[in-house]
Amino acid sequence: MTNTVSLLKEHNLRNTEARVAVLNTFMVQPHALSHGDIEREVGEQFDRVTIYRTLTSFMEKGLLHKVPVDDGSTRYALCDHCDHHQHEDNHIHFKCTVCGTTQCLDELPIPQVKLPQGFTLTETNFLVQGVCKGCNG
Amino acid sequence: MTNTVSLLKEHNLRNTEARVAVLNTFMVQPHALSHGDIEREVGEQFDRVTIYRTLTSFMEKGLLHKVPVDDGSTRYALCDHCDHHQHEDNHIHFKCTVCGTTQCLDELPIPQVKLPQGFTLTETNFLVQGVCKGCNG
DNA sequence: GTTTATGCAAATTCTTTGCAATACT
DNA sequence: AGTATTGCAAAGAATTTGCATAAAC
């Protein structure tokens, strides 16, 4: 089963209330979340600092990855195929310019890139901006 | 001629010392810069707040665009073909995980994406991470 | 002369750190 | 029991705002 508790265990993270709450937020929300987003969601129950540290732990254990955005916020999304050695985040992120949310378009693979001589690749991120289905409807 | 002063004029920005200095930094540096980067460069001469406001003005007038990164900093790069109606930033950004700089790989075009039904596209950004030529050398 | 930009001070917001108390395994 | 996590306080960055002065057009 792939519920919150077992996901934590699989990633060598202790099962605590705060972690379950934060992880749950990611599983319910379909888009990339910032610290602020999560604080708004579960902030009544847990300290701001705990949320910061939870996000850091999740990153380190390969449960979350950072999503590149252009507004100066740090945003995270659930890893699909990441482990704690390497983050692999091979799908397109879509940021809606109307509602401001960033979501993962898992269906669409990122096209290959051929870098110039001398460059080594470890990770690719594709961010597309526009208007999402909901806001276009 | 495409020097700093005329670039400012073309974008309806008053010619001031601070703006020339900030714009110059972008023209000299080949990669995406944060507020902090610029402050380190010209910070002795101008107030921190002035630099913030300069970056904002440059954005509004279509001289700079934001570059998506995943470290929670806001980074800017010179627009090539942007105007103040729409930002167009059609090349790949490369972030070196060793030296930490982000540069534009102007030669490489961004591949086309076909979005799902209902999505409208206005801008695409491709961020590649790895090790750059200099750090591999 | 009118409009816009700057510097300074101060307020907000964001993020990190230390440490004692608590909870997990 | 032993180790990791939490909350609180506090420090440190990053960013924004108001207002009087100065500079650009």
Higher pLDDT, B69 or B21: B21
Please provide the average confidence, as pLDDT, over all residues in chain B: 82
Which listed CATH number (3.40.50.880, 3.30.365.10, 1.10.10.10, 3.40.640.10) goes with A4-136? 1.10.10.10
Position with higher pLDDT, B84 vs A111: A111
Q: Which nucleotides of D are covered by protein (CB under 7 A)?
A: 4-10, 14-18, 23-25
Percent of chain A whose predicted confidence (pLDDT) is above 70: 84
pLDDT at residue B109, as a whole number: 66
How many helices, marked H, and strands, marked E, lie in chain B?
Answer: 5, 6
CA distance A69 to A16: 30
Q: Which residue is nearest to nucleotide D17 (CA to C1')?
A: B49
Phi, psi of B88 (to 5 degrees): -125, 125
Please tell me the distance in Å from B59's CA to the nearest CA on chain A: 12
Q: Tokens 């900030």 label which residue?
A: B22
Overall average pLDDT of the A23-50 stretch = 90
Q: What residue in B sits closest to A35 (Cα-Cα)? A: B72
Each residue's pLDDT tens digit, B1-11:
468 888 899 99
Residue B1's pLDDT is 47
Segment A28-40 shows an average pLDDT of: 89
Beta bridge partners of B66: B76
- Bigger pLDDT: A84 vs A34: A34
Could you give the C-alpha distances from A96 to A71, A79, A105, A121, in angstroms and in order?
Answer: 13, 21, 12, 28
How far does B120 lie from chain A, in Å, by closest CA? 5
Q: Does residue B2 sit at the A interface (CB-CB below 8 Å)?
A: no
Q: What one-character-per-residue DSSP string does chain A give?
A: ---HHHHHHHTT----HHHHHHHHHHHH--B-EEHHHHHHHHTTTS-HHHHHHHHHHHHHTTSEEEE-BSSS--EEEE-SS--SS-----EEEEEETTT--EEEEEEEEPPP----TT-EEEEEEEEEEEE-HHHH-
The H or E element that residue B75 is part of is: strand B75-78
pLDDT for the residue numbered B50: 97
Q: Which residues pair with A58 in a beta bridge?
A: none
pLDDT score for B125: 75
Residue B90 pLDDT more than 70? no
Give residue-wise pLDDT tens across range B70-81: 889 999 988 764
Confidence of residue A89 (pLDDT cuts 50, 70, 90): low
The spacing between the Cα labelled CA in A116 and the C1' in D12, in angstroms, equals 40
- Could you tell me the pLDDT band of residue A99, with boundaries at 50, 70 and 90? confident
In the numeric block, the tokens 């847990």 are attached to A46
B21 in helix, strand or coil?
helix
**pLDDT at residue B83 in the model:** 45
Please report the pLDDT score of residue A136 as a whole number. Answer: 80
Angstrom CA distances, B21 to A86, B48, B75, stand at 40, 13, 17
- The one-letter code for the residue type at B1 is M
Residues in chain B, overall count: 137
| Residue A2: band (very low, low, confident or very high) from pLDDT cuts 50, 70, 90 | low
Closest nucleotide to B48: CA versus each C1': C7
| B36-50 pLDDT tens trace | 999 999 978 999 999
